[in-house]
């Protein structure tokens, strides 16, 4: 029993990532995709007149697309001997599809399956992320609508500033998520297919296969792409598709990581202020020593994982920068780690954000108390204006309220007492003309500007159009259940 715990396991798969994303980057999916690509190549070559490819061969390949335990064993034994993963799987496929063994991988180079296979998996991964991101935006939008009119203290430099609303603040999070939705959608739509390009991208092997017929090579390239679900082909490649594609991809996911980190950090700070908290389950333990604690562990996890996601873009940048001429092989080992980890990490962060957004707890009374401690200072300009309307002198009023403000601030900072500026104003004869107006001058709703209207406008003009393509997914309302 102890033996199973003596090997390292990635927390991305053992603790956090969704089953769908884990399956997408699994060996079973990778090598199934290779077999599918070999089948598509054979089909296209047969359609273009290669008589060596028989219908029986095609049928056998179709029958054995899904790998068995024995297939994996056969491939592992062969790879240990040949030190070549693609040829090991060509051999394993040929073992079970014997009628096709002589034509599998015909005219192709290893990158035909590795690169095209990666592009297929990447596209499916982007689709999964878009679905989850749409849900997160939808959940935070519901939150913004619910609290669009609830005044709260704004912060600049994490110092008290003019009031905003809880919902308006949430729109700042949503706006960045919408840009991530745009970026990931663009990345998916821009993704092309390497196609059949040969060992250095010249298609020389396929030109020889079709006896110098350039048109047939063109048709082959397009047909394989079509069979693999792609309309767009990269017209030129080296042995691989340009690793600049990976740069664009990981930059998009890393950018999302920055968004997630900012949102989670805001919620962590609000939790410290006891204004808003992430979900906290009935039997959840915040600390092994301090039983009272309600640590924002979900948001902390978002921040930790987002940091990892943000740095993965560096892998792609550095890999792309050293791809000499038509290719080198120092990309392979790095990409086996960086690309799956980027998708798994983004997937986990989205699951966490959805869970958080579905269960945010707001404490209006705490929010109101903090407003009452700061609003008197913010209302001083309004008080001065009200006094001037009653015939007061602006400069004299400014001096009167300046003195009272410093006295009240001293009580707060030096004695730890509440802000008593309003009580001081009520006890100062100079301000008697506006005593009966003080309550209205201090109404928090008069300090939030157009926050509620901005939320409505933002949801209608920005969120709803962006989520329209994802309506079917949102109707499913799939809940997120975290394992740990």
- Which residue numbers are catalytic? 157, 287
Tokens of 5: 């715990």
Query: 359 and 278 in contact (C-beta within 8 Å)?
Result: yes
The helix/strand/coil state of 86 is helix
**DSSP E strand stretches across 342-439:** 361-362
Angstrom distance (rounded) from CA 74 to CA 67: 11
Identify whether the C-beta of residue 126 lies closer than 8 Å to the C-beta of residue 187: yes
> For residue 233, what is the DSSP state?
B
Nearest to 124 by CA among 40, 22, 196, 251: 22
Distance of alpha carbon 99 from alpha carbon 56, whole angstroms: 7
Q: Strands 276-277, 159-165: parallel, antiparallel or unpaired by DSSP?
A: unpaired
SS3 content of the chain, % helix, strand, coil (to 5): 70, 5, 25
Give CA 164 to chain center in angstroms. 27
Residues across the chain: 484
d(CA 339, CA 349): 16
Q: Distance (Å, rounded) from C-alpha 456 to C-alpha 469?
A: 20
- 112's enclosing H/E stretch is helix 110-146
Give me 253's structure tokens: 């996911």
In this structure, what token pair is assigned to residue 436? 């009966």
Instruction: Judge contact between 326 and 115, C-beta under 8 A.
Output: no
Q: How far is CA 74 from the centre of its chain?
A: 38
Buried b vs exposed e over 166-201: b needs ≥16 C-beta within 10 Å?
bbbbbbebbebbbebbebbbebbeebbbbbbbbbeb
């Amino acid at each position: 029993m102890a033996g199973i715990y003596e090997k390292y396991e990635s927390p991305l798969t053992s603790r956090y990532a969704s089953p769908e994303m884990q399956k997408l980057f699994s060996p079973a999916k990778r090598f199934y995709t290779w077999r599918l690509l070999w089948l598509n190549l054979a089909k296209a070559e047969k359609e273009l007149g290669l008589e060596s490819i028989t219908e029986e061969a095609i049928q056998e390949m179709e029958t054995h697309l899904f790998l068995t335990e024995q297939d994996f064993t056969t491939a592992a034994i062969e790879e240990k001997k040949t030190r070549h993963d693609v040829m090991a799987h060509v051999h394993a496929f040929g073992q079970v599809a014997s009628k096709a063994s002589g034509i599998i991988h015909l005219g192709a180079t290893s990158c035909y399956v590795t690169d095209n296979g990666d592009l297929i998996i990447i596209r499916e991964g982007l689709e999964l992320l878009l679905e989850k991101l749409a849900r997160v935006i939808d959940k935070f939008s519901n939150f913004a609508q619910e609290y669009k009119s609830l005044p709260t203290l704004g912060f600049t430099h994490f110092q008290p500033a003019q009031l905003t609303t809880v919902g308006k603040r949430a729109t700042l999070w949503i706006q960045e998520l919408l840009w991530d939705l745009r970026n990931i959608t663009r990345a998916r739509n821009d993704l092309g297919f390497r196609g059949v390009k040969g060992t250095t991208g010249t298609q020389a092997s396929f030109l020889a296969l079709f006896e110098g017929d350039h048109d047939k090579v063109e048709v082959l390239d397009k047909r394989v792409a079509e069979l693999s679900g792609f309309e767009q082909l990269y017209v030129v490649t080296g042995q691989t598709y340009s690793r600049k594609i990976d740069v664009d991809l990981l930059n998009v996911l890393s950018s999302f990581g920055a968004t997630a980190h900012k949102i989670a950090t805001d919620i962590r700070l609000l939790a410290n202020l006891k204004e808003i908290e992430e979900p906290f389950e009935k039997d959840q333990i915040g600390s092994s020593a301090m039983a009272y604690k309600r640590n924002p562990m979900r948001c902390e996890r978002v921040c930790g994982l987002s940091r990892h996601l943000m740095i993965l873009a560096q892998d792609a940048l550095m890999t792309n920068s050293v791809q000499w001429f038509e290719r080198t092989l120092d990309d392979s080992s790095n990409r086996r780690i960086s690309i799956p980890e980027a998708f798994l990490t983004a997937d986990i962060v989205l699951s966490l954000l959805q869970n958080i957004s579905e269960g945010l707890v707001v404490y209006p009374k705490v929010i109101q108390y903090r407003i009452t401690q700061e609003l008197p200072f913010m209302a001083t300009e309004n008080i001065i204006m009200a006094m001037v309307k009653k015939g007061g002198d602006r400069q004299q009023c400014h001096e009167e309220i300046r003195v009272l403000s410093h006295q009240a601030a001293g009580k707060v900072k030096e004695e730890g007492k509440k802000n008593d500026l309003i009580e001081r104003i009520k006890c100062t004869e100079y301000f008697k003309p506006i005593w009966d107006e003080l309550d209205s001058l201090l109404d928090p709703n008069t300090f939030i500007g157009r926050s509620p209207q901005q939320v409505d406008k933002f949801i209608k003009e920005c969120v709803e159009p962006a989520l329209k393509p994802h309506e079917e997914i949102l109707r499913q309302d799939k809940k997120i259940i975290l394992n740990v």
